[in-house]
Structure 1
């Protein structure tokens, strides 16, 4: 074999090996995530934390969401709203809709410090909006209620009904009840 052919073969083999290793690494992450979520379902929270925390620290949005939920509820770890907020925010900033809803709830219910010069209701509305525009029914309903009451947003009955209707169209029970009662 000529040196050019050997170099080409070596490069091709290295690329193939690297692709396999990356695929296996991705599979390992998926396995750990699946196992972590299965541990949550069977209420084995200590195992869930052990499996999810490394993934969350490495930027996996779903693992960050689940770890935030564990801290929020005090499952497998001490209940800690600050830690829950941190994990929810990391996942929310990656576009994870469920984390955006949790973050909105924490601001709406006064469980998160908005920092200086920040309105918690406005932050709640912003996070609900991010999730609502992704089609998250709970976020759509919550955003609709904020528009209905003028909390964190300018009060607007038409905008409220638009978001609540979107939630109802997805089967959100409270949104459906609200629309029936109008």
Structure 2
């Protein structure tokens, strides 16, 4: 079995392989960075403005797929499938994407924004009326949203196979 390797995909669609380490700034927790080490041992800081995505194994965030948004923040994919959910690394803010569409901020996890989060997600579920009906019987909590997205993805995967 071939061993998977960590890599970075640049905005120019170049793939660079190497060992990727997350760097922390104790004085500025939102200032998250990454460094990549090539086969010769040379370490290079990864500029967020150059990154499209990162694939890491056994890092601070475990095995993870990370993307950037607005050339400013790193987002970790927490749900994979037809509908994907990403969470900011520095703050519990969430973004969703369906079938690779542009990432959309969703007010998930905030008690005062449950109705808004629920309304935002309905558009992603409209092609499954039965699941949408189940979702409409729930509050728009983070737990319920993640549950329904995972269920949607598993149903879509089942229908394809």
Which interval holds the TM-score relative to the shorter structure?
0.3 to 0.5
User: Highest relative contact order (Cα 8 Å, sep 6+), 1 or 2?
Assistant: 2
**TM-score if structure 1 supplies the norm length?**
0.32
**TM-score if structure 2 supplies the norm length?**
0.35
Q: Work out which of the two has the higher radius of gyration on C-alpha atoms and give 1 or 2.
A: 1
- Greater fraction of residues in helix: 1
